[in-house]
Structure 1
Amino acid sequence: MDAWSTSIPARSSYFCRAPARTGATSPRVGWLIVATDFASEIADLRATLKQITLVSDPEALRARIALLEQEASAPDLWDDVESAQQVTSRLSHAQHELNRLDDLAAAIDDLETLVELAGEEDDADSLAEAEKELLTLRKQLADLEVRTLLSGEYDAREAVVTIRSGAGGVDAADFAEMLLRMYLRWAERNGYPAKVLDTSYAEEAGLKSATFEVKAPFAFGTLSVEAGTHRLVRISPFDNQGRRQTSFAAVEVVPLIEQTDHIEIPDNEIKVDVFRSSGPGGQSVNTTDSAVRLTHLPTGVVVSMQNEKSQIQNRAAAMRVLQSRLLLLKQQEEAAKKKELAGDVKASWGDQMRSYVLQPYQMVKDLRTEHESGNPSAVFDGDINGFIDAGIRWRRQAQLQAESEA
C-alpha cells in the first residue's frame, strides 16, 4: 500500500485509482479524488432519520399494528365490507410506515459498509454507486420528513375532494376535467385507492363538478394544500379563432367523516331530492331515479351523489360527504374565532394558488410556495408530489410564523 492509500480518512472523503487514458497527450492522472464527505453525509442521514423516528413513534406503530391485526383476524370482519376495508387499509399503511423506517435504517448501514469497502479496495465503481445511493436516500428521507409535518387534527384522515369549474365557460369545464384526471393519476401513481362519487357533466365538454374519495391514511393532510383556485392559461381548443383563454376551477378538500366524530344531523334539517342520473349510462344509470341530492337547510350546503347503483347507496354516500363538509365547516369556524383573537395572520392562501400556463410558455407555478415545473404534461399526468410537499412545508412555516406573532 502506497502513501496515497494510507492517507484515506476512515468513513470520509476517498481517493481511488483512475484508469490510464490510452493515447492521452497529457500526463497520466493516477488518482481520482472523490470529494463527497461520506462520513458527514451519513451522519446527516442518521440525524434526519432519528428526528423522523421520534415523530413517527415506532413503538406506537407496532402497538397499532398489533391491534389492527387482531381486528383483521376477527371471523366476522367481512360482515361489514366498508369497515373491513378500512381496517385492512389502515393495517397495510401502518405496516408500510414501520417497514419504511426499518428499511431506511438498514439502507444507511449498507451505504456506510459500501463506502468503507470501496475505500479499502480503491473501487471507483463502488464509490459511484454509493453516490447514487446517497442521493436516493436523501430523497426518500425528504419525502418521509414531509409526513412528520402533518400534525393537524384531521390530517390523518382519508379525503373527499370536490372540483368545480369556475369562470371561463367551456374551457373552465374542460379544465375541471383535466384536474380530476390529474388527481386520480396522482392517487394511482402513489398507490392510493380513489373512487369517483359524483360527476356533473357540462353541456359542451368537461365537468361542472366532480367529487371523489381518496381512501388512504393522511390523504386529507396531504391533499388539503391543494384546496383553492387553480388557473389555466392556454390557446382555447374551443375557440375557432385560436385565441388565448384564461379559465378557473376550484378545489375543495374535506376530511372523511368517521363514526367517532358524532356529527348528528336532524332529519328536519335535511331536504332530500331524488332524480335521474346524468352522463354515461350503464347498470341502472339513467334508467331510474337513483341519484340523490341532500341540502342542509341551516347552512345551505348541498351534496349530490349519482355514481352508485342504487338510491340507498347514493344517499349513504351523500350523507357521509355532507357530514364531512359540516365537520370541516365547524373546524373553520373554530379556526376563524382563534384567528380573530390572534389578529391578522400573514401569508394567507389567497384566491389563486396555482397557475398552469400552456401559452405563450410552458410553466406550472404555485403562487404561495414559488415551486414550479416546466413540464405541464407531466403535472397533468399526476406528477404533483413536488407541489404538495412544498405546500405542506409552506403551510407549516406559515403556522409557525402565526404562532410566533400571536
Structure 2
Amino acid sequence: MNPDVTADLADLDVTLTTIEKVVDPEELSDRIRELEAQASDPSLWDDPDHAQTVTSELSAKQAQLKKVRALRERLGDLPVMYQLAEEEGDADAAELADAERAELRADIAALEVTTMLSGEYDAREAVINIRAGAGGVDAADFAEMLMRMYVRWAEKHGHKVDVYDTSYAEEAGLKSATFVVHGEYTYGTLSVEQGTHRLVRLSPFDNQGRRQTSFAEVEVLPVVEQTDSIEVPDSEIKVDVYRSSGPGGQSVNTTDSAVRITHLPTGIVVTCQNEKSQHQNKASAMRVLAAKLLERKRQEEQAEMDALGAGGNASWGNQMRSYVLHPYQMVKDLRTGYEVNNPDAVLGGDLDGFLEAGIRWRMDQLQGEGD
C-alpha cells in the first residue's frame, strides 16, 4: 500500500480514536438501554413532555452510536479495499478506495466537530431571529434570503422548522422573522451564525442598477426547557392582540389572533402571528421571550465572569460574514477566514463548511482563554 495512504489511514484512526474516547460507545450503549427501558414503560406517556424528551434523546443517542460504529467499520474496510485493488492491479478499484477515503475523512471531521459542542445549552434546539438592518429594501430582501438559507440548511439535515413570526416589509422582503429549528444540537451548531451579515450586490430595486451594501442581524437562542429557572410572572408582561398581516399589508387572518408580548422590566418585545389561534401564538411568543431572557441571563453571568477575569469575549465580532455578488462572487467569514466562491450554493443552504469552521474557531478561542 502507498506510504502516503498508510500514513493518512493512521491519521484517520488517531482522530476517530479521540472521538471514541469523547463519545464513549460503551457508556452510550448503557444510556440507550436505560432510555429503551423508560420508553417501553406504558406510563411514560402520562407526561407527554417528558415522553417526548425521552424518545428524542433515545433517537439521537442511537443515531450517534450507529454513526461512530459505522465510521470505525468503514475505516477497517479501507485497507482491504486498497489491498484487493493492488493485488488485482485494478485502477478503478483504487480510485473507488481513494473516493471512499476522502468521503470518510469528511465524515470523521464532521463528527469531530459535534464533539466540540459541549456548552451548557449546545444540545438544545435553536430559536433564530433575523432582522433587516441598514440598506432599505435591499436589507429586507437580504433578511428573507437569510431565512431561506437557514430553512434550506435545516431541510437538508432533516430538521423540522416552525415559523413563529414574519413581519413583511412594504416593497419586498422581511423586516424580521422568528423561527425554531428542531433537532438535537441545532443551537450549538447554529450559534456561530450570530452577528451581522453583510450583502454586496447590484441592487434589483435600484432603477440605475447601482451597487448596494445592506446588512441583516442574526440572533440565535437556545430553546428553554422545563429545567431552566426562567419564570415570567403575568405582572411583568403586557399582552396585545392584533390582526395578522401578510406581504404588502395583506390580511392573512380575519381574527385578532396575532400576539405581541412586552416584557416590562427589560423592554423586550416578542411577536407571533403564524399559529392558527391566539392561544397558540401566545404560547409560542412566551417560548421565544423565555429564550431571550435565558440568553440575557447567560450574558449577564458571562459579564460577571469576565469582570473577575475568568472569561473572554462572548460576542464573536459584530460583522461576521460578507456575501459579495458583485463585482466578484464570494462568501467570506470574517472571523475564521473561511471563504467560498459560490454564493448561490451558500444561500441555498450549503452552510456546513462555515459552521464547522466557526465551531472550530470558537473552540480555539475558548482554549486560548484557558491557557
Cα separation, partners in 2 of 1:125 and 1:394, compared to 1, 3 Å: same
Q: Distance in 1 between matches of 2:223 and 2:311?
A: 30
Structure 1 counterpart of 2:239, from 256, 260, 272: 272
**Where does residue 15 of structure 2 map in the other structure?**
48
Residue ranges of structure 1 left out of the alignment (5+ in a row): 1-11, 14-35
**Where does residue 90 of structure 1 map in the other structure?**
57
Q: Distance in 1 between matches of 2:210 and 2:123?
A: 44
Q: Distance in 2 between matches of 1:306 and 1:78?
A: 30
Cα separation, partners in 2 of 1:327 and 1:280, compared to 1, 3 Å: same
Stretch deviating more after TM superposition (222-231 or 238-247):
238-247
Structure 2 counterpart of 1:203, from 170, 185, 189: 170
* Cα distance per residue 1:102-157 (max 9 Å; x no partner): 10011011112112223333333322221111111111111111111111111111
Q: Distance in 1 between matches of 2:77 and 2:252?
A: 56
**Where does residue 222 of structure 1 map in the other structure?**
189
Q: Distance in 2 between matches of 1:245 and 1:129?
A: 46
Q: Distance in 2 between matches of 1:316 and 1:225?
A: 27
Q: How does 1:333-352 map to 2 (within 5 A)?
A: 333-342=300-309, 345=312, 349-352=316-319
Q: CA deviation at 1:363?
A: 0.7
Q: CA deviation at 1:402?
A: 1.5
* Cα distance per residue 1:17-39 (max 9 Å; x no partner): xxxxxxxxxxxxxxxxxxx5332
**Where does residue 128 of structure 1 map in the other structure?**
95
Matched, 1:325 2:292: yes
* Cα distance per residue 1:63-88 (max 9 Å; x no partner): 33233333433446667666555444
Structure 1 counterpart of 2:210, from 223, 233, 243: 243
Structure 1 counterpart of 2:72, from 105, 108, 116: 105
Q: Which has the larger radius of gyration?
A: 1
The AA in structure 2 aligned to 1:142 is A
Q: Distance in 2 between matches of 1:287 and 1:74?
A: 45
Cα separation, partners in 2 of 1:370 and 1:152, compared to 1, 3 Å: same
Q: Distance in 2 between matches of 1:343 and 1:76?
A: 45
Matched, 1:72 2:39: yes
Cα separation, partners in 2 of 1:280 and 1:64, compared to 1, 3 Å: farther
* Cα distance per residue 1:201-243 (max 9 Å; x no partner): 1111111110111111111110000000000111111111111
Cα separation, partners in 2 of 1:259 and 1:344, compared to 1, 3 Å: closer
Q: Distance in 2 between matches of 1:314 and 1:86?
A: 23
Structure 1 counterpart of 2:112, from 124, 135, 145: 145
Structure 2 counterpart of 1:60, from 18, 23, 27: 27
Return the TM-score normalized by structure 2: 0.94
Q: CA deviation at 1:263?
A: 1.2
**Where does residue 135 of structure 2 map in the other structure?**
168
Instruction: Percent identity, please.
Output: 62
The AA in structure 1 aligned to 2:62 is Q
Secondary structure of the structure 2 residue equivalent to 1:112:
helix
Cα separation, partners in 2 of 1:81 and 1:313, compared to 1, 3 Å: farther
Check whether the contact 2:125–2:185 (CA below 8 A) recurs between aligned residues. yes
Q: Distance in 2 between matches of 1:322 and 1:401?
A: 33
Structure 1 counterpart of 2:5, from 38, 41, 53: 38
Return the TM-score normalized by structure 1: 0.86
The AA in structure 1 aligned to 2:139 is A
Q: How does 1:232-381 map to 2 (within 5 A)?
A: 232-279=199-246, 285-342=252-309, 345=312, 349-381=316-348
Q: Distance in 1 between matches of 2:269 and 2:153?
A: 27
Cα separation, partners in 2 of 1:201 and 1:70, compared to 1, 3 Å: farther
Check whether the contact 1:231–1:249 (CA below 8 A) recurs between aligned residues. yes
Cα separation, partners in 2 of 1:304 and 1:239, compared to 1, 3 Å: same
Q: CA deviation at 1:349?
A: 2.3
